[in-house]
Copies of this chain bind each other. A is one copy, B any other.
Amino acid sequence: MSGTPFVARRHFILGAAGAGTLAGLGGRATGAAEGATRLPDYVSWKDPETLIVHSPRTLEMKRDAFGSSGVTPADQLYIRNNLPAPDARIVQDRDAWEVSFEGVRNPRSMTLGELRQLGVESVAAVLQCSGNGRAFFDHQASGTQWTVGAAGNLFWSGVPLRRVAEALGGVADGRRFITARGGEALPDGIDPNTVMVERSVPLAALDRALLAWEMNGSPVPLAHGGPLRLVLPGYYGINNVKYVKRLAFTEQESEAAIQRTGYRVRPVGQRGAPDQPSMWEMAVKSWVTHPLRETENGPVQILGVAFGGDKALRRVEVSTDGGTNWREARLLGPDLGRFAWRPFALQAELPAGSHLVASRATDAEGNTQPETFPPNERGYAHNGWRDHAVEVTVG
């Protein structure tokens, strides 16, 4: 991951992104704007100019689309679906959506309409795919080649899961996990455990878990898990189960493959297994969003976003010389809380030539992004600052 190789790989990725359209997908025509692409029908409401279509079920936000505001617009938010979404009829009568609650003293099903009466809270939180940054690994990990755009900062509103558990008599004894299952239709004749989206997280996440019906002030779109999504601030996206249909407090982790062997961090070449670390809490991370390639001589505002992941963000530093010298950046706008990201800015003077511009965030417990991040089989969790740096040419 030193000098030349990582630059070459990164530039390859930036190039590929521009060509990342998918022929043959149904979608709206988008005119001739540079970078515009065709979107799949189910996300035809999104902004094609801000997105890279990797596949019909994986869309990435372009690095130059991130703004300096503390919110990611829904129409620019990445998409990563493990299974096709349920039929759109489930968001036509949202309040009728039923969730079965198990592992509580008084298990039963509740409709979304009932859940709304139990309580409401709102939180700003980063949603990030486990594989965000996968493209920066040198070992060509299989999976979508995300660079930085499989992430967003969103407002979620819904009922705290703790409130629901209390209304159902409390969590049953001996339960160690929150296990949530999505409402996707499964193909016939296949063991459900091989395909279904069911994830478990430690019971400690009950302090932050939200059953959310609203994203950025609107009902959660179907493509993002509406009518009801489990939101676990600080946890990787995969744990934030969409169209949540069954919510169980369990003694063991789910037997679904996506939990047992999927989303496990292990050395390159190894198969996934339950004894490997699961993709749960996110680590501190940041990336520069401007400038990305070229800029003019003179003062430039270096912009980016930074977050602490499971912890609050303490500070961000920026280097314009590949990591030799660092200066603390200014955090912009209001502090949206422990789980949100924060835009940052640093004014710099860049003389003519080539500059490696990097950012490095530190969380409230003093954890700083490492310079490099070790490869792992599936290319998860990359937060090494060097691979996330950008080479800027000043003309």
Write out the residue numbers on chain B whose beta carbons fall within 8 Å of the beta carbon of A30.
Answer: none
Q: Which 4 A-B residue pairings sit nearest by Cβ, starting from the closest?
A: A122-B333, A69-B155, A67-B217, A68-B157
CA of A120 to CA of B66 in the docked complex: distance in angstroms? Answer: 14
List 12 extra interface pairs beyond A71-B71, A116-B301, A119-B347, CB under 8 A: A67-B214, A69-B214, A71-B155, A71-B216, A71-B217, A73-B73, A73-B217, A119-B301, A121-B332, A122-B333, A334-B337, A336-B336
Contact among B71, B117, B343 with A300 in the assembled complex (CB-CB below 8 Å)? B117
Q: List 11 A-B contacts (CB under 8 A).
A: A50-B218, A66-B217, A69-B216, A72-B217, A73-B216, A75-B75, A116-B301, A118-B299, A119-B347, A120-B332, A157-B332
Write out the residue numbers on chain B whose beta carbons fall within 8 Å of the beta carbon of A334.
Answer: 123-124, 334-337, 340
| A345 in the interface (beta carbon within 8 A) | yes
A337-355: contact bitstring with B at CB < 8 Å (1 yes, 0 no)?
1001001010100000000
| A376 in the interface (beta carbon within 8 A) | no
A3-34: contact bitstring with B at CB < 8 Å (1 yes, 0 no)?
00000000000000000000000000000000
Show the binding face of A for B, using Cβ within 8 Å.
47, 50, 66-76, 116-124, 155-157, 214-218, 298-301, 303, 332-337, 340, 343, 345, 347
Q: Quick check: A76 and B217 within 8 Å, CB to CB?
A: yes
Contact among B47, B216, B301 with A120 in the assembled complex (CB-CB below 8 Å)? B301
Shortest C-beta distance, A151 to chain B (Å), equals 13
Write out the residue numbers on chain B whose beta carbons fall within 8 Å of the beta carbon of A215.
Answer: 69
CA of A121 to CA of B345 in the docked complex: distance in angstroms? Answer: 9
CA of A233 to CA of B343 in the docked complex: distance in angstroms? Answer: 20
Q: Quick check: A122 and B155 within 8 Å, CB to CB?
A: no
Shortest C-beta distance, A93 to chain B (Å), equals 12
Return the chain B residue nearest A117 by Cβ: B299
CA of A142 to CA of B353 in the docked complex: distance in angstroms? Answer: 61
Write out the residue numbers on chain B whose beta carbons fall within 8 Å of the beta carbon of A118.
Answer: 299
CA of A303 to CA of B120 in the docked complex: distance in angstroms? Answer: 9
CA of A332 to CA of B122 in the docked complex: distance in angstroms? Answer: 6
Interface of A is mostly: mixed
CA of A217 to CA of B67 in the docked complex: distance in angstroms? Answer: 5
Write out the residue numbers on chain B whose beta carbons fall within 8 Å of the beta carbon of A301.
Answer: 116-117, 119-120
Write out the residue numbers on chain B whose beta carbons fall within 8 Å of the beta carbon of A67.
Answer: 157, 214, 216-218
CA of A73 to CA of B116 in the docked complex: distance in angstroms? Answer: 21
Shortest C-beta distance, A365 to chain B (Å), equals 21
Write out the residue numbers on chain B whose beta carbons fall within 8 Å of the beta carbon of A71.
Answer: 71, 155, 216-217
Shortest C-beta distance, A125 to chain B (Å), equals 10
Write out the residue numbers on chain B whose beta carbons fall within 8 Å of the beta carbon of A66.
Answer: 217
Contact among B68, B216, B218 with A214 in the assembled complex (CB-CB below 8 Å)? B68
Write out the residue numbers on chain B whose beta carbons fall within 8 Å of the beta carbon of A72.
Answer: 217
Write out the residue numbers on chain B whose beta carbons fall within 8 Å of the beta carbon of A75.
Answer: 75
Return the chain B residue nearest A67 by Cβ: B217
The CB with the most chain B CB atoms within 10 A, among A68, A118, A119, A300, is that of A68
Q: Quick check: B217 and A120 within 8 Å, CB to CB?
A: no
Q: Quick check: B217 and A69 within 8 Å, CB to CB?
A: yes
Q: Quick check: B298 and A117 within 8 Å, CB to CB?
A: yes
Shortest C-beta distance, A372 to chain B (Å), equals 30
Write out the residue numbers on chain B whose beta carbons fall within 8 Å of the beta carbon of A68.
Answer: 120, 122, 157, 214, 217
Write out the residue numbers on chain B whose beta carbons fall within 8 Å of the beta carbon of A300.
Answer: 117
